[in-house]
Each structure stands twice: as structure tokens, then as C-alpha cells.
């Protein structure tokens, strides 16, 4: 039977402790990296949300402007139709 001496057992335990420490450091670094990425994504999401709000406001303004212009054009067409009827009547059609 191959038995380990006290020093070999201690050395083996020491190796395991160092590996555990390195693993913990790696996990901590990955956690910090992920936290930075999450913060960055949250900022990007907030920026996107504010852009969305600005675009919605702009769209609303443009739709309102379009409706206003449409009413003016319809009004002008009504006037033109009345004028055409008056002109046709004056010409004797």
C-alpha cells in the first residue's frame, strides 16, 4: 500500500488551498466583469428608453402637423371647388 507521509499530505492540502484561492480570484474577477457589463447594459437601456421617448414625442408632433396640413389642404380644395363652380357658372357652362 502506498501511504502518504505527513509532509506529503500537508503539501497536497496546500496545493488544494492554492487552487481554491486561484479559483475564488477567477470567480471574483468574472463577477466584477459581469457587474460592469450589467451596468453598461443598464445605461444603454436607459439611453434607448430616452431615445424612444424622444422619437415618440417627435412622431406625435409630426402626426399633429400632418393633420393640421391635411385640414388646410382640404379647406383649400373646398374653396377651389366653389371657385370652379362660380367660374363655370360665370362662363355659362
Report pLDDT for 20.
98
Instruction: Kindly report each contact of residues 77-82 with a partner whose C-beta sits within 8 Å and lies 24 or more positions away, as own/partner.
Output: none
Q: According to the model, what pLDDT value does residue 76 have?
A: 93
Task: List the grid coordinates of 32.
Answer: 466584477
What pTM did the predictor assign?
A: 0.57
Contact in structure between 8 and 16 (CB atoms under 8 Å):
no
Q: Mean pLDDT in runs of 10 for the chain (93 residues)?
A: 78 96 98 98 98 98 98 93 78 66
**DSSP for residue 2:** -
Rg (CA), the chain: 39
Rounded to whole angstroms, how far apart are CA atoms 58 and 52? 10
Task: Note the pLDDT of residue 2.
Answer: 62
Amino acid at each position: 500500500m502506498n501511504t502518504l507521509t505527513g509532509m506529503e499530505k500537508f503539501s497536497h492540502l496546500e496545493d488544494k488551498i492554492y487552487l481554491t484561492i486561484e479559483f475564488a480570484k477567477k470567480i471574483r474577477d468574472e463577477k466584477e466583469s459581469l457587474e460592469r457589463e450589467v451596468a453598461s447594459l443598464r445605461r444603454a437601456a436607459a439611453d434607448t428608453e430616452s431615445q424612444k421617448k424622444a422619437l415618440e414625442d417627435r412622431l406625435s408632433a409630426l402626426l399633429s402637423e400632418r393633420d393640421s396640413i391635411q385640414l388646410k389642404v382640404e379647406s383649400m380644395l373646398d374653396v377651389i371647388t366653389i371657385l370652379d363652380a362660380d367660374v363655370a357658372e360665370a362662363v355659362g357652362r
